[in-house]
Structure 1
């Protein structure tokens, strides 16, 4: 059995890197959506949501960097062009969103997509005995499940 520089099976590391690149593409689209919500939000809750969306995109930017660096750690290259992100991502661009409730609905949809992908990666990482990727995915899932609860509570759901 062939292993990479951190002792993981090379085939498993390749599958994980592929899944992480998919996750990276989705994070990039979610990030751009959140930036757009931050810039374009209007209405009575502007001040509150403007700050909340900035917190969201700042957190997403950190996660984008962590995912890309994890791909490098596994011995692979993170994708790094928007044409690749758009082709790979299941999260779609959301444009011209000005209503806060609509933006939060999109955020909840995007979190649902990310959490599903991260659960699949968590299972794959556990199977590959890749504690680094598993821990990262576990942390993201925990944080995002709480965020889903909070955004849903804001909507009164």
Structure 2
């Protein structure tokens, strides 16, 4: 059975997690205002979580015979996560909302990854996506709670 579709979704995931980590890093650097002292270190935590998942997905892709994208140009070209040049004018709430939007996109991607990997009979990849989905959904809940949503 071919795993071409699983390789494709894994590479999409590598690009999107890389760009999501860049977005969180941008928020980390450009954060100002009430909540800074607790949210600034939280962004480090989010980056660590994203990079942990990124490594797992990239290594899985290599394990099943694929080649992960690995350049900033590839990440930017392939990723569907929106990101713009930072300014100091955005509030912390606006910045957290940008992360929530990106993470909601990731939940859809991970659900697609589960379906595609199931169709390819790849239970290990299904498990990786399931674990990552739970983590991302929990983070969305926490960010939305911080935003009062």
TM-score with structure 1 setting the length = 0.89
Match of 2:112 in 1: 120
- Higher normalized contact order (CA 8 Å, seq sep 6+, divided by chain length): 2
Match of 2:36 among 38, 41, 46: 46
Match of 2:141 among 134, 141, 149: 149
Corresponding position: 1:22 with 2:12: yes
Instruction: Quote how far apart the aligned CAs of 1:148 are.
Output: 1.1
The runs of 5 or more residues in structure 1 that have no matched partner are: 1-8
Deviations 1:97-123 (A, max 9, x none): 552111110111011111101101101
Match of 2:54 in 1: 64
Corresponding position: 1:133 with 2:125: yes
Flag as ranges the 4+ runs of structure 1 deviating above 6 A: none
Q: Judging changes above 3 Å, is the alpha-carbon distance between structure 1 residues 113 and 97 closer, same or farther for their aligned structure 2 residues? A: farther
CA distance in 2, matches of 1:83, 1:146: 30
Corresponding position: 1:89 with 2:76: no
The runs of 5 or more residues in structure 2 that have no matched partner are: none
Query: CA RMSD for the aligned pairs?
Result: 1.2
> Across the two proteins, how many residue pairs are aligned to each other?
147
